[in-house]
Amino acid sequence: MDFLTLIQLLDSTVRLATPLLLACLAGLFSERAGIFDIGLEGKMLAAAFFSAAVAAVTGSVWLGLLAGIAASLLLSALHGIASITFRGNQLISGVAINFLASGLTVLIAQSWFQQGGRTPSLMGGGRFTPITLPFADAVADVPFLGPIYAELISGHSILVYIAFAAVPLTWFVLFRTRFGLRLRAVGENPAAVDTAGVSVVGLRYAAVAICGVLCGIAGAYLSTALQAGFVKDMSAGRGYIALAALIFAKWRPWYALYATLLFGLFGALETRPDVITALTGMRMQGQLLGALPYIMTVIILAGFVGRANPPRAGGEPYVKER
């Protein structure tokens, strides 16, 4: 495998890791506040559809992004009502949200565009286009560092840079602000937060809302940057892989970055069977390669996580003492 192939592989790793990273950070906010969310998948899917649909109709990808975030926020609100206000089972609520998104997107897509549950292909201003960072063309010929800067770091859409910037931002918000401290506390011991006179319900809704915004960006990235338009069930299990990455990362932002990059690499390898053949000397069947990210997830979760300490109050609704 030569250097250029490696750069290409890493380049597509970054592309595929971006939606996972955004969804993983989304789950991080939610689960750190004690709200399990397996509805990441559904929120991404809904956001993917609405951003593609609005971008297709208006021709503006930014309006599309807003619509995607709004759709994702709506589902987040539903999850909040079910699991915070009515203290329902958070896993079941997440499952319901996933099916709701999976069914409604096709239903609405068919009703609006009559193209068999997809949106029209996005063109021009309807997509997030790659950004060429300054001097990328100038340094492209420099050996080693040139291609890394020009091919790997430059030339992604703005959402990729937003996703990577979200990692230090998440770390800062969670570990260096008062809001973050309270948010983590509400996931560990909500009764203590309540005693301190801070609203448990308010904090949890805030966390779920942040989760909605990040999932919205992730979904918009899928349909307006990674691909050009929405197709049925295009999130393809990414929400679940993001959840697995979250566990692998032990609910920490920087580890989330590494975990999602690893899963992104699995995804990138899936599209390059020639690289695997070159590396291992074996020919892999395409169908089995498709299962690679999932198999790796199971192996990682089973063996390498070590002691993963989830937020202690995760999944449990908070009932105020009377």
Partner 1 sequence: MDVMPKWAEVILVPLISLILAAIISALVILAIGEDPIAAVKLMVSGALGSTYGWGYTLYYATNFMFTGLAVAVAFHARLFNIGGEGQAALGGLGVALACLYIPWPHWSLALLGAIVMAGIFGAIWAAIPAYLQARRGSHIVITTIMFNFIAASLLNYILVNVLRPRGSMDPATARFPEGTHLPTLHDVLAPFGISFSKAAPANITLLIAVLACVLVWALIWRTRLGYELRAYGHSESAAKYAGISPFKITMITMIISGALAGLMAINNVMGEAERLVLNAVEGAGFIGIAVALMGRSHPFGVFIAAILFGFLYQGGAELALWTSIPRELIVVIQALVILFTGALDNMVRMPLERMFLAARRARAPKPERKPVEPAE
What residue ranges bind partner 1 (CB under 8 A)?
A: 38, 78, 81-83, 86-93, 95-100, 102-104, 106-108, 110-111, 117, 237, 240, 243-244, 247, 285, 287-288, 290-291, 294-295, 297-298, 301-303, 305, 308
Closer residue to partner 1, CB minimum distance, 282 or 288: 288
Based on CB atoms, which residue is closest to partner 1, 217 or 265?
A: 265
Nearest-approach distance from CB 239 to partner 1, in angstroms: 10
Please report how close the Cβ of residue 248 comes to partner 1 at its closest, in angstroms.
10
CB of 203 to partner 1, least distance (A): 20
Number of neighbouring beta carbons within 10 Å of residue 322: 3
Tell the smallest beta-carbon distance from residue 99 to partner 1 (Å).
4
**Residue 63 tokens, joined:** 């309006």
| Nearest CB to partner 1, comparing residues 6 and 70 | 70
CB of 197 to partner 1, least distance (A): 26
The smaller minimum CB distance to partner 1, of residues 4 and 107, is found at: 107
Nearer to partner 1, 11 or 41 (CB): 41
Q: 142 or 295: whose CB is closer to partner 1?
A: 295
